[in-house]
Amino acid sequence: MKNLLITAFLFISVQLFSQAEMKLTKENICRGAAVSIVGNIKPFVDRGFPKSEILEMGKELVKDVIKDAPEKAYNLLKTNKSSDEVIEILYNDFMKLDKSVVSQFLLKPDMDDLEDEEYDEDDE
């Protein structure tokens, strides 16, 4: 039992340390935004949804500073670029933005998540 507790303690310590090392850097924000855009658009491109519908949904995802990113992703995916290639292209575009702009985040918050948090606070 003692060995199990020691192992669990070590595992928890490593987990906490690794989480403490995660930071919101420009690189992480830009990579996350690129992955999110491609991840949200590609399934609809693959299923043949009309461009106008995909771009309308994409508009709901991104802030104005990168409003052209969903269309760029759509066009690149339609030219048979892989998801990884499109992510890398968008990432490089986002990295050109000023750090102060990126620090405001590039994606719009998910309103459903915000509403859930508000209800959680009301319950307390």
- Whether pTM > 0.85 for this model: the answer is no
Distance, CA of 99 to chain centre: 17
pLDDT band, very low/low/confident/very high, at 17 (cuts 50, 70, 90): very low
Q: What is the pLDDT of residues 39-72, one digit of tens each?
A: 999 999 999 999 999 999 999 999 999 999 999 9
Residue whose tokens read 């850097």: 25
Confidence band for 111, pLDDT divided at 50, 70 and 90:
low
Structure tokens at 24: 């919101």
Q: Give the model confidence (pLDDT) of 27-38 as tens digits.
A: 999 999 999 999
